[in-house]
């Protein structure tokens, strides 16, 4: 397939672009840094272009089979710049969606977030659960979801909304500016200082999904024709505490660096029983997909990224 990916050199987008190109697809990764990346090594089948090339000439999109949309303001910037969040996460999503439709692209895959279900995430959620977005990041993603699904139902596009949990793994390119994410932050701190510090007691739970499984999930979905309502939760299907994830990072870092890594937490461990979290991925598993990503491999790839980019 000929695939175009907005945010194609970002944290998730970079991994996805590289994986799809390596698996026989032709990939065009859109990045606003496209004209300032000398020496960036791309795999066979992958090219990089500035988004303005296609925004200014939408007819040039008609060579693509699928548009995968990942370009979005991150959760921190959504709070700092709420008007920009609306523009980037909602307006620009609709603009790309409409351009794709008018160019004859049959499928638009939108990366959303599991946080559209609410905040904090606790309890059970499947694709039929009510959504209660609270954070500007989740609110803007839910609004963009509605546009994507409206084009599915009203205009006949085979559009998908992927509600992603906490994805982690080594970045594919140095353009992946998501260093405040938990695993990335812990790995970078372990390499740079030999210490890791949690700001809480670490008893909060998250659904941490390997980027290896996210890559494979998208490739799998590209081959399916029937998608129900077009919404899938993409995650690991089980919760892990932040403390347990930090311990995994500590163990892997010590094994690689052959030295002790100090792990501390700023808050005493709470006596309150941690809440449970179950973001169901049963709908996706019913398409015959099986998870195979290894957390230890993704942690190691992240640590080695920071070793190589010190």
C-beta of residue 310 within 8 angstroms of C-beta of residue 192: yes
Which pLDDT score, from 0 to 100, does residue 225 have?
82
* pLDDT, tens digit, 9 for 90 and up, residues 153-198: 999 999 999 999 999 999 999 998 888 899 999 999 999 999 999 9
The answer on 249 and 217 residing in a single domain is no
Question: What's the rounded mean pLDDT across residues 18-39?
Answer: 92
pTM, two decimals, is 0.96
Separation between Cα atoms, residue 26 and residue 45, nearest integer Å:
5
The answer on 265 and 152 residing in a single domain is no
Q: Does residue 287 belong to any structural domain of this protein?
A: no
* pLDDT, tens digit, 9 for 90 and up, residues 213-267: 999 999 999 999 877 899 999 999 999 999 999 999 999 999 999 999 999 998 8
Q: Does residue 265 belong to any structural domain of this protein?
A: yes
Q: Does residue 38 belong to any structural domain of this protein?
A: yes
The answer on 187 and 83 residing in a single domain is no
Within 10 angstroms of residue 96's Cβ, the number of other Cβ atoms is 25
Separation between Cα atoms, residue 253 and residue 64, nearest integer Å:
42
Share of the chain above pLDDT 70, in %: 100
Which pLDDT score, from 0 to 100, does residue 76 have?
93
Question: Residue 49 is part of a domain; what is its CATH number?
Answer: 3.40.50.720
The answer on 177 and 78 residing in a single domain is no
Separation between Cα atoms, residue 73 and residue 138, nearest integer Å:
11
Q: Does residue 40 belong to any structural domain of this protein?
A: yes
C-beta of residue 165 within 8 angstroms of C-beta of residue 236: yes
Q: Does residue 223 belong to any structural domain of this protein?
A: yes
* Per-chain mean pLDDT for the chain: 95
Separation between Cα atoms, residue 158 and residue 107, nearest integer Å:
5
Which pLDDT score, from 0 to 100, does residue 227 have?
77
The answer on 229 and 124 residing in a single domain is yes
**96/227: higher pLDDT:** 96
The answer on 42 and 102 residing in a single domain is yes
Give Cβ neighbours of residue 202 (< 8 Å, ≥ 6 apart). Answer: 241, 242, 243, 244, 246, 265, 269
The answer on 106 and 28 residing in a single domain is yes
The answer on 69 and 179 residing in a single domain is no
Which pLDDT score, from 0 to 100, does residue 204 have?
93
The answer on 122 and 179 residing in a single domain is no
The answer on 185 and 65 residing in a single domain is no
Q: What domain count does the chain have? A: 2
Give the structural domain span for 264.
171-207+238-277+292-308
Question: Residue 246 is part of a domain; what is its CATH number?
Answer: 3.90.25.10
Is it the case that residue 19 has pLDDT exceeding 80?
yes
Is it the case that residue 286 has pLDDT exceeding 80?
yes
Is it the case that residue 281 has pLDDT exceeding 90?
yes
The answer on 262 and 149 residing in a single domain is no
Is it the case that residue 268 has pLDDT exceeding 90?
no
The answer on 192 and 109 residing in a single domain is no
Q: Does residue 286 belong to any structural domain of this protein?
A: no
Q: Does residue 145 belong to any structural domain of this protein?
A: yes
Q: Does residue 54 belong to any structural domain of this protein?
A: yes
Which pLDDT score, from 0 to 100, does residue 148 have?
98
């Amino acid at each position: 397939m000929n695939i175009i990916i907005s945010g194609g050199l970002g944290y998730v987008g970079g991994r996805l672009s590289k994986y799809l190109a390596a698996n026989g697809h032709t990939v065009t990764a859109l990045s606003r840094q496209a004209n300032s990346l000398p020496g960036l090594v791309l795999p066979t089948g992958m090219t990089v272009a500035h988004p303005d090339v296609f925004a200014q000439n939408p007819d040039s999109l008609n060579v693509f089979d699928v548009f995968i949309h990942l370009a979005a303001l991150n959760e921190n910037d959504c709070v700092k710049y709420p008007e920009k969040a609306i523009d980037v996460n909602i307006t620009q999503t609709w603009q790309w969606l409409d351009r794709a439709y008018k160019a004859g692209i049959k499928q638009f895959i939108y990366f959303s977030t599991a946080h559209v279900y609410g905040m904090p995430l606790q309890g059970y959620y499947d694709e039929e659960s009510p959504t209660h977005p609270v954070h500007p990041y989740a609110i803007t993603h839910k609004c963009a979801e509605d546009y994507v699904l409206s084009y599915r139902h009203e205009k006949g596009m085979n559009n998908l909304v992927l509600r992603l949990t906490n994805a982690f793994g080594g970045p594919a390119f140095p353009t992946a500016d998501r260093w405040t994410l938990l695993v990335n932050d812990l790995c970078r701190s372990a390499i740079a200082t030999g210490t890791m510090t949690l700001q809480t007691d670490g008893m909060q739970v998250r659904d941490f999904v390997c980027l290896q499984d996210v890559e494979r999930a998208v490739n799998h979905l590209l081959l399916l024709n029937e998608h129900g309502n077009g919404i899938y939760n993409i995650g690991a299907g089980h919760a892990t505490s932040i403390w347990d994830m930090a311990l995994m990072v500590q163990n892997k870092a010590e094994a690689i660096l052959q030295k002790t890594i100090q792990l501390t937490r700023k808050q005493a461990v709470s006596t309150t029983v941690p809440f449970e979290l179950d973001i169901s991925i049963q709908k996706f598993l019913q398409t015959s997909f099986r998870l195979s990503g290894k957390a230890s491999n993704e942690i190691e790839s992240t640590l080695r990224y920071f070793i190589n980019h010190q």
